[in-house]
Amino acid sequence: MQDRSWWGMAALSGALVVMAGAFGAHALEGQLAPRLAAAFETGVRYQAWHTLAMLGVLAWRASHPRRGQGVVLGLWTAGIVLFSGSLYGMALTGVRGLGMITPIGGLLMIGGWLALAVCALRDRA
């Protein structure tokens, strides 16, 4: 299977989305300040959308491999780790300093979308 590692990464991210969503909805219900609960939910939401986007790029790459698709996947993966990971950590530990990492993850996610645009525009079907 081409891109076995990327498919595995996307599958693990998808599983983590479900686990984090369930944990946030059940185990953390009423346990966090509303601001921290909202931060946790934002992390889950952004991870879910970017995991689905990764699957789309992987499907595209399976039939039409293009230069730059790996960059997109890498940026989104790093963005998920830094953006969602920092929000999860901040919500669960209360360490506000983790919030300084969140924008870096967001910039990586944005960079992935811009890299996808460049990759698609270069595609000469």
Name the residue type at position 100.
M
By C-alpha distance, which of 46, 43, 112, 49 is closest to 76?
112
- How far is it, in rounded angstroms, from Cα 69 to Cα 64? 10
30-77: pLDDT as tens digits: 899 999 999 999 999 999 999 999 999 999 999 999 999 999 999 999
- How far is it, in rounded angstroms, from Cα 61 to Cα 7? 11
108-123: pLDDT as tens digits: 999 999 999 999 998 7
1-26: pLDDT as tens digits: 679 999 999 999 999 999 999 999 99
